[in-house]
Amino acid sequence: MRALFALVATPLVGRVRRRIAQLAVADEAQGVPAYALVTVVFVTVLIVVLAALGDSIGVFLQGLVDQLPFGI
């Protein structure tokens, strides 16, 4: 039974591996524009959020530094 499985499964595994490799190459090429789009959206949202927060970030960080137990 194992010999029969080996005769049938080995070529099938090879074909599946080749097909997965082909799909991986195709997906890599399609992933570059998606990665660029996600990066642009992330940076844009980050800039908008930081601009909206304005001085409150500085006030928060100053309060955080003031709470540190250092004699600065």
pLDDT at 61 (0 to 100): 82
Q: Is 27 among the domain residues?
A: yes
Q: Is 60 among the domain residues?
A: yes
Averages of pLDDT over runs of 10 residues in the chain (72 residues) are 54 70 63 86 90 84 85 58
DSSP secondary structure string for all residues of 51-67: HHHTHHHHHHHHHHHHH
pLDDT at 10 (0 to 100): 61
Q: Is 72 among the domain residues?
A: no
pLDDT at 44 (0 to 100): 93
Q: Is 33 among the domain residues?
A: yes
Looking at the structure of the chain, the number of domains it has is 1
Domain that holds residue 39: 2-67
